[in-house]
Amino acid sequence: MAMDTRVGAARVLAEVLEGRSLNQALPAMLDKISARDRGLLQQLCYGTLRSAPRLEALLAQMLDKPLRDKDRDVHALLMCGLYQLEETRIPDHAAVSATVAATRGLKKNWAKGMTNAVLRRFQRERETLVAALPAAAANAHPEWLYDALMQEWPEQAGDIIAANNEQPPMTLRINLSRGSREDYLALLVKAGIAARAGAHSPAAVYLDKPMDVAELPGFGLGDVSVQDEAAQMAALLVAPSAGERILDACAAPGGKTGHLLELEPAADVTAMDVDPLRLQRVQENLERLELGAELLEGDGRQPPSNLGEQAFDRILVDAPCSATGVIRRHPDVKSLRRTTDIDGFSEQQSYILDGLWPLLRQGGTLVYATCSIMSGENDATVSRFLARHSDASAAAPAVDWGQPTQHGRQLLPSPGGPDGLYYTLLQKS
C-alpha cells in the first residue's frame, strides 16, 4: 500500500532538518508514494523548504515550546501544513484535514489536536502573525543569509531574494553542432511548446513551463540538454580548441563536459570526479550526446599521480561551494547552511586549486567557477590563491554579462533568468 503523501513529505523534511540534503532524502520516498502523487510530494518538499525560514518563524509564534528532537517529523508536518495554507491552491479545509490525518500515519496520534489547533489558529490570525515576522523570515531567508545579501549586494538583494523564492525556470542548451537555436525554437513552436531565447549563452532556451525531458524534440538523440544559462558560460569561457588537453576537474553530472565537446569534439577531454557513482552520470550523459571523454575517479585536492605535471592546456574547476547562487534549485540550502560554512568551503576550494595548479601547463588557463554569490568563496579564495602562487594571475572574463568583481564576473540569480555563478580566469606564466 502506498504511503500517504503528507506522511512522506514530513519524513523527507524531517531528514533535511536533521542535516541530510533533499537530493539524498527525496528519491527513496518517491518510490513509496503512488505514481499519481509523486508530483505533489515534490511540490510539498521543495515548496516547504523554499519557505522554511518563514514557516519556522510562524511556528515559533504559535508553539509554547519547541518540539523534541524525536518529534522532528511532527514539526516538519506542521511546516508542510502552513506551506499549503500560504502558498498552494489546495483548499484550506482540505489542507488542514489531510495534514491532521497524517499524524496517524506518523504514529503520533498525540499530535492530532495540536496540529489542528496550530493550523486553525494560523487561519484566524494570519495577518497578525505575518506582520510580526522579522525582515529575514518575512522574506523566507535565514537571518545570516539575508544580512549577507544586504551587505554584499545591497542594490540587487531584492531581485536575488525574489529569485531564491521562486520555482526555477527550465533552461535548455541546444547542441549547436547539430543545429541552430532558431531552428530548435521553431521545432518547439511546432510542438506547441512556448519558449524564448536566452540573453547570454547562444545555446540557451527558456521554456515557459517545465516539462518531461522525454517530450522535448530530439532530447533522446542528443540535440538538446537541460542546463541553466549561467552554467553554460563555463564551457564558453574554457573555449576549447581541437587537440587541446582539457581537464573538467569536478565533472559530475557531466553537463559542462558535454558542452565542452559539443563546442569542440576534437578536444581531448578528461572528466574527473571524486564520486564514482556520480561519474556514471557523466558517462550516461555523454552516451546520449554520442560524445566521448576519458573518465577518471579522482580528488582535485590530491589528483591521481598518473596525470602528470603540466599535462593540460586548460582546466575547468566548478568547485564545491555553499550553493547560495542556486537556492531556488536546492532550497534545502536555506535550512542546511550556516554563515560558518563559507570559510569551510573556501578552504576546500583552496586545496582543490592548489592540487590542480601543477597540472596546468605554462601559458594555460584555469577557469575557476562556483555557484556561490558570497565573496568569501569567490574573490577572497582567488586572492589567497594568487598570494600563494607567484606564477598565477587572474583575469576577469571579457564579457558583458554579470557584475564585475575584484577578480572575476558574478552572475546573480534573477527571476525567470539565470542562476548565480562566479567566474574568473587564472593564467599560468
Residue 32, classified by CB atoms within 10 Å of its CB into exposed (0-12), middle (13-18) or buried (19+), is middle
CB atoms within 10 A of CB 303: 20
Distance from C-alpha of 340 to C-alpha of 185, rounded to nearest angstrom: 44
Residue 77's closest CA among 42, 102, 40? 102
pLDDT for the residue numbered 374: 98
- Are 366 and 360 in contact by the 8 Å Cβ rule? The answer is yes
- E strand or H helix that includes residue 280: helix 276-289
To the nearest 10°, report the CA torsion of 161, 164, 165, 168: 140
Cα→Cα distances 385→354, 381, 389, Å: 8, 6, 6
Distance from C-alpha of 24 to C-alpha of 69, rounded to nearest angstrom: 20
Omega before 415 within 30 of 0, i.e. cis: no
CB atoms within 10 A of CB 255: 23
Active site residues: 371
Which three cell numbers, joined as nine digits, stand for 224?
A: 538538446
pLDDT for the residue numbered 265: 96
Distance from C-alpha of 246 to C-alpha of 260, rounded to nearest angstrom: 9
Tens place of pLDDT per residue across the chain (429 aa): 889 999 999 999 999 999 999 999 999 999 999 999 999 999 999 999 999 999 999 999 999 999 999 999 999 999 999 999 999 999 999 999 999 999 999 999 999 999 999 999 999 999 999 999 999 999 999 999 999 999 999 999 999 999 999 999 999 999 999 999 999 999 999 999 999 999 999 999 999 999 999 999 999 999 999 999 999 999 999 999 999 999 999 999 999 999 999 999 999 999 999 999 999 999 999 999 999 999 999 999 999 998 989 999 999 999 999 999 999 999 999 999 999 999 999 999 999 999 999 999 999 999 999 999 999 999 999 999 999 999 999 999 999 999 999 999 999 999 999 999 999 999 999
Model confidence, pTM = 0.95
pLDDT for the residue numbered 173: 98
pLDDT for the residue numbered 223: 97
- Bridge partner list, 225: 173
Residue 98's φ and ψ, nearest 5 degrees, are -70, -35
pLDDT for the residue numbered 102: 98
Cβ partners under 8 Å of residue 283, min gap 6? 254, 295
pLDDT for the residue numbered 385: 98
